Structure 1
Amino acid sequence: MGALLALIIVALILGLIGYGASARIVRQFERGVVFRFGKVHGPPREPGFVWIAPFVDQMRKVNVQIVTLPIPAQDGITRDNVTVRVDAVVYFRVHDPVEAVVEVQDYEFAVSQVAQTSLRSIIGKSELDDLLSNRETLNQGLELMIDSPAVGWGIEIDRVEIKDVALPETMKRSMSRQAEAERERRSRIITADGELQASHKLAAAASTMSETPAALQLRLLQTIVEVAAEKNSTVVLPFPVELLRFLEHASEKPAAPAASATPPAPPPTPPPTPEVEPATSDVNGVRQLPAPPQPPRP
Structure 2
Amino acid sequence: MIMGFDYFLTTLIILAVLFLLSMFRILREYERGVIFVLGRFYKVKGPGLIIVIPIIQQMVRVDLRTVVMDVPTQDVISRDNVSVKVNAVIYFRVIDPERAIIQVENFLEATSQLSQTTLRSVLGQHELDDMLAERDRLNADIQVILDKQTDAWGIKVANVEIKHVDLDESMIRAIAKQAEAERERRAKVIHALGEFEASEKLLSAASVLAKQSEAMQLRYMQTLVELASDKSSTIVFPLPVDILSALKGKADSD
Flag the 1:77–1:160 CA change in 2: closer, same or farther, 3 A: same
Larger helix fraction of residues: 2
Matching residue of 2:197:
197
Greater radius of gyration (CA)? 1
In structure 1, distance between residues paired with 2:240 and 2:91: 83
How far apart, in 2, do the equivalents of 1:64 and 1:163 lie? Answer: 25
Once the two structures are overlaid, the 10-residue window that deviates more, 213-222 or 57-66, is 213-222
Counterparts of 1:157 and 1:199 in 2: how far apart (Å)?
A: 60
* Counterpart position of 1:115: 115
Q: For 1:100-179, what aligned pairs fall within 5 Å after superposition?
A: 100-133=100-133, 135=135, 138-139=138-139, 141-143=141-143, 145-147=145-147, 149-179=149-179
1:220 is aligned to 222
User: Which residue of structure 1 lines up, in the alignment, with residue 69 of structure 2?
Assistant: 69
Where 1:91 maps in the other structure, the secondary structure is strand
Aligned-pair CA distance for 1:15 = 10
Higher relative contact order (CA 8 A, sep 6+): 2
* 1:235 counterpart letter in structure 2: K
Report the equivalent of 1:40.
41
TM-score by length of 1: 0.60
Between the aligned partners of 2:64 and 2:228, the Cα distance in structure 1 is: 80
CA gap 1:84/1:237 in 2 versus in 1, 3 angstroms:
closer
Q: Which residue of 1 aligns with 2:50?
A: 51
Q: Note the C-alpha offset of 1:94.
A: 0.8
List gaps (5 residues or longer) in structure 2.
Answer: 1-13, 249-254
Q: CA RMSD in A?
A: 4.2
Cα distance in 1 between the residues matched to 2:156 and 2:215: 83
**Aligned residue number for residue 81 of structure 1:** 81
Q: 1:79 to 1:189 in 2, by over 3 A?
A: closer
Return structure 1 stretches of 4+ with deviation > 6 angstroms.
13-19, 236-239
**Mapped partners of 2:155, 2:232: distance in 1:** 86
Quote the residue 2:94 is aligned against.
94
Match of 1:249 in 2: 244
- How many residues align? The count is 231
In structure 1, what is the Cα distance between the partners aligned to 2:91 and 2:111?
10
Distance 1:22 1:96 in 2: 24
1:30 and 2:31 aligned: yes
Q: Tell me the CA shift for residue 85 of structure 1.
A: 1.5
Closer, same or farther in 2 for the Cα pair 1:237/1:73, shift >3 Å? closer
Q: Shift in Å at residue 21 of structure 1?
A: 4.0
* Alignment match, 2:231: 235
Q: 1:177 to 1:237 in 2, by over 3 A?
A: closer
Cα shift readout 1:156-193 (whole Å, capped 9, x = no counterpart): 22343333322222222222212211111111211221
The structure with the greater share of residues assigned to strand is: 2
Q: Structure 1: where are the runs of 5+ without partners?
A: 1-12, 229-233, 254-298
